[in-house]
Amino acid sequence: MPGHTENEITIPAPLDLVWDITNDVENWPELFSEYASAEIVERDGDRVVFRLTMHPDENGQVWSWVSERTADRASRTVRAHRVETGPFQYMDIHWSYQDTPGGVRMRWVQDFSMKPGAPLDDEAMTNRINENSKVQLELIRERVVKRHKDGEGRA
């Protein structure tokens, strides 16, 4: 059975600020703790192709891949997928943003399948993604809220 995860967080900041910060791929290494670098390969309007490189894992392995994402500000959604799939047969990600009384609810839905012989199977990768998403979402909330309090947000 393919992997599927759904994770979300509410960020008490204006939608425009949350959208701008979380869709600024070049600065993801400052937003996410797991990325060592983000390199833009190609940009065409709201579509961006980019290479992410992670910090070395517990075994010293550095993972890197190319993804493509298309942001649709009008619908407050982003669709992304891995172009270089690495250990995945496929990896599709859907981001959505919703204004709520408590702030912006940002939600990630990931659908994927691991290749045979990958270091983790679908179930183990589902668990890893769910654990890591909680850490990354909390970090994003902290960093966006700090920037909002520092006056970078729009009212």
- In the structure, what pLDDT confidence band is assigned to residue 133 with cuts at 50, 70 and 90? very high
Is the residue at 155 inside a domain? Answer: no
Determine, yes or no, domain membership for 137.
Answer: yes
In a domain, 74, yes or no: yes
Give the tens place of pLDDT for each residue, 103-126. 999 999 999 999 999 999 999 999
Mean pLDDT value across the chain: 95
Residue 130 lies inside a defined structural domain of this protein? yes
Domain extent at residue 100: 3-150
Give the total number of structural domains in the chain. Answer: 1
CATH at 34:
3.30.530.20
How many Å apart are CA 85 and CA 126, to the nearest integer? 16
Q: Is the pLDDT of residue 153 over 70?
A: no
Predicted pLDDT of residue 155 = 42
In the DSSP assignment, the letter for residue 32 is -
Q: Report the share of the chain in percent with pLDDT over 90.
A: 91
Which of 49, 108, 45 is CA-nearest to residue 74?
45
Residue 58 lies in a domain: yes
